[in-house]
Amino acid sequence: MTTTWTSAQRTTLVPPLSRAGNWAAVLLASALLAALAQLRVVLPFTPVPITGQTLGVLLVAAALGPRRGTAAVLAYLAEGLLGLPVFAGGGSGLGYLLGPTGGYLVGFVAAAWVVGAWAQRSGRRLATAWLGFVAGETVLYALGLFWLGWYVGWAQAPALGLFPFLLGDALKATLAGLLLPTAWRLVR
């Protein structure tokens, strides 16, 4: 089935897909998030692991746009809630989502929308995409730190859930920017 672009869609980043194409893109993207969640480094001083999930959220959202990118993150969370071992370290279930890292998982949804909307509006320029990644990560950290503060205390949350991750997330944003042209080609 072929789809045609309307005049409004020609000005956006994300091409239209058939209904089956949309579902396939969302499910493949959620599988990518699940795979990247298994790339994990446990830090002994914090309940928050270093994972590849942030890279996946940035890349998926920028490639698929706000609606499909957010749908992919929601599908990923639903898979985990249904008991599939998709969260970091093979975790799953409501208990995992309500644990100390639950705010980051919920933050992925908001970050996907921000990054996807930013990419859709700014076009295919890597410099502006990177700014969108920073905006998305800012939203992600705000929700993650708020949630983590309930577990470790508000004063400790930045030391345990932000500062150790800033350099790695800058590298993930850079890697997402480098992979983005390939992702855009795959979506086409």
* Domain harbouring 98, CATH code: 1.10.1760.20
Residue 124 pLDDT exceeds 80: no
pTM given for the model = 0.88
| Pick from 172, 176, 115: nearest CA to 140 | 115
Q: How confident is the model at residue 3 (pLDDT cuts 50, 70, 90)?
A: very low
* 5 belongs to a structural domain: no
Q: How confident is the model at residue 14 (pLDDT cuts 50, 70, 90)?
A: low
* 9 belongs to a structural domain: no
* Number of domains comprising the chain: 1
* CA distance from start to end of the chain: 14
pLDDT at 2 (0 to 100)? 40
Q: What is the mean pLDDT of the segment spanning 101-129?
A: 91
Q: How confident is the model at residue 91 (pLDDT cuts 50, 70, 90)?
A: very high
pLDDT at 4 (0 to 100)? 42
Nearest-angstrom CA–CA distance, 32 and 53: 9
* 8 belongs to a structural domain: no
* 25 belongs to a structural domain: yes
Q: Domain range for residue 45?
A: 15-187
* 116 belongs to a structural domain: yes
State the Cα torsion 131-136-167-39 to the nearest 10°: -130
Q: What is the mean pLDDT of the segment spanning 78-87?
A: 98
Q: What is the mean pLDDT of the segment spanning 58-65?
A: 95
* 127 belongs to a structural domain: yes
* 10 belongs to a structural domain: no
Q: What is the mean pLDDT of the segment spanning 62-67?
A: 95
* 1 belongs to a structural domain: no
